[in-house]
Amino acid sequence: MAVETVRGVQASEPNVHGYRSFSLGEFTFRRDEYFVYVKWPTGSHLMSADAFLRALQRDVAWQFFYGTVNFDGVVGTVNHYGTVDLFAGRYNDAYRKAELDHVENFETPLIMATFRAILEDWTNASFDPFASPHETGTAFGPKTGDNKAAINRHRVTAKRMVAVPGDEPVRSDATGFRINRQFLDVPQDAPEIIAEPGFEGEVNAFNLFAYLSRSDVTWNPSVVSACKNSLYCPTTEEYILPIIHGNDRVEWFVQLSDEIYWDVENRDTGAVRAKDLMKAGDVAAMPANIRHQGYAPKRSMLLVWENASPDLPGLISSGKLPINPVDF
């Protein structure tokens, strides 16, 4: 790599397609008009540019999330909450057996700066990695401009709850959040709050369905309420979850509307474990040792319930807590 840019990011001059190449440790990343090429000392891998950018966008916006973010069955990251593993083939049985897998650990600020730089350089003006395919232009072709507004969206992280004074605001036309084309039938009324005298400033409520009907992003769990480590992270889903999420803790799913198909796999090998169709009203607990990817034929609402306790990964991996939250 010829050029070193700010914050330790290793980048080249633009190639003939207008895109810079990047290196991080022994990994290199480059793209052309259609594809992204990832290389490491024992192998290489190719992904469609749109799929790669959708996955990269989530990894960056979620700050590497809980556990494993697989971009696909080969490359991804594991969050150690201060450092991050970047891996290739590490959680893929065939790569492991062939000894082609590779993993490197980085301080979070370095891998974050590198991933941000790739996302910014490789996202064209026409592409919004958070949008559904129907609501964005193309990711392909030679480099044309950028889309910093889309890739640097504010991430909703309520400290107490949406609509509480001083916390995350409700959404409206006036704030630029219009009702999505597939949620035009969702009632937009607001709850009436009747507080006991003396408690007027301490009681609050908002219409979650109306709030979600105005989401302009897909597959992006955001915190709408927090009670200590218990986080309600609802999200609207359309097309394919751009990552395969590997859990380091249990995740509860409540399907609030429409349907999502789920593929559930062994987190460490990728072996198929379950196929599941969640319909409106269904509740599921994803075990702490699986990975999952969802498919939503129509925009749907999903409540993801996370426990953000930093103690959970250690308690589960040491066997002090079960991998299933409930036995039947």
Decide whether 50 or 251 has the Cβ nearer to Fe ion. Answer: 251
Burial 204-225 (b: 16+ CB within 10 A, else e): eebbbbbbbbbbbbbbbbbbbb
Task: Phi first, then psi: give them for residue 60, nearest 5 degrees.
Answer: -70, -50
Q: Which is nearer to Fe ion, 75 or 233 (CB)?
A: 233
Question: Quick one: 85 or 146, whose CB is closer to Fe ion?
Answer: 85
Question: In whole angstroms, how close is the CB of 247 to Fe ion at the nearest point?
Answer: 6
Q: Nearer to Fe ion by C-beta: 65 or 122?
A: 65
Nearer to Fe ion, 245 or 299 (CB): 245
Contact residues: Fe ion, CB under 5 A: 245, 251
In whole angstroms, the minimum distance from the beta carbon of 292 to Fe ion comes to 6
Q: How far is the CB of 45 from Fe ion (least distance, A)?
A: 23
Q: Which is nearer to Fe ion, 186 or 240 (CB)?
A: 240
Shortest approach of Fe ion to residue 245 CB, angstroms? 4
Residue nearest to Fe ion (CB): 245
Q: How many angstroms separate the CA atoms of 114 and 9, rounded? A: 5
Nearest distance from C-beta of residue 8 to Fe ion, angstroms: 30
Residue 40 or residue 232: which is nearer to Fe ion going by CB? 232
Q: What residues form DSSP beta bridges with 161?
A: 225
CB of 294 to Fe ion, least distance (A): 9
Q: How far is the CB of 100 from Fe ion (least distance, A)?
A: 27
